[in-house]
Amino acid sequence: TQLLEQSPQFLSIQEGENLTVYCNSSSVFSSLQWYRQEPGEGPVLLVTVVTGGEVKKLKRLTFQFGDARKDSSLHITAAQTGDTGLYLCATAGAGSYQLTFGKGTKLSVIP
Amino acid sequence: GAGVSQSPSNKVTEKGKDVELRCDPISGHTALYWYRQSLGQGLEFLIYFQGNSAPDKSGLPSDRFSAERTGGSVSTLTIQRTQQEDSAVYLCASSLALAGQGAYEQYFGPGTRLTVT
């Protein structure tokens, strides 16, 4: 099973600030997904990245997949209180149907 | 509703009792997944179904855990002789087809929070 390391584990910032969270592995990802989970809810898929060097934007969120496909980052511009939640990265190994998740970054955006 | 639903939302049980957790996937989704989320362990995969078949049960933590799916729809996860270490949030997800390499999105339910006292 591929291990995913996420950092930081916790992040507390003021509304309007920018932030970046990271997801790394010692193995190459076949693809990588980012999810956001709010308290009492299941994770919701934000994006899937497949190609090394790929950059995807979702409003104020920018997702980057490393050239070597061993790391990924999520950058949030001008954070809002609605961005508060647990951000999880996950990968499905080639030929595997199960998602392996990182332990997540718990983000708190303070008004 | 249109999403994945799970019941009960919360379950408190005494150690040694059996519990059944239910998942109603999105209509038309052929693939169904169970995950467990606990503090310090993150989210771990338990089992998946394609239709009513579960080809790989190796993710289940012990033989006290079993799951079934009937009619290609509802699934139940049963934990026998519950232990305190079984306390966690049990999440169910479904997808149009088997999710390989992120090809198909998995939609998660809100989970069942199980507390074993």
Q: What is the pLDDT of residues B56-68, one digit of tens each?
A: 888 999 999 999 9
Start-to-end CA distance of chain B, whole Å, equals 32
The alpha-carbon gap from A19 to the nearest alpha carbon of chain B, in Å, equals 22
Rounded Cα distance between B107 and B104, Å, is: 10
Q: Does B102 touch chain A (CB under 8 A)?
A: yes
Which residues does chain B have within 8 Å of residue A40's beta carbon, measured at their own beta carbons? 110-111
- The string of pLDDT tens digits covering residues B14-28 is 999 999 999 999 998
Which residues does chain A have within 8 Å of residue B106's beta carbon, measured at their own beta carbons? 45, 99
Interface of B with A in 1-30 (CB under 8 A): 4
Query: Starting from the edge strand earliest in sequence, which strands make up the sheet with B75-79, in order?
Result: B5-7, B19-24, B75-79, B65-69
- The string of pLDDT tens digits covering residues A83-109 is 999 999 998 866 567 788 999 999 999
Q: Which amino acid belongs to residue B107?
A: Y
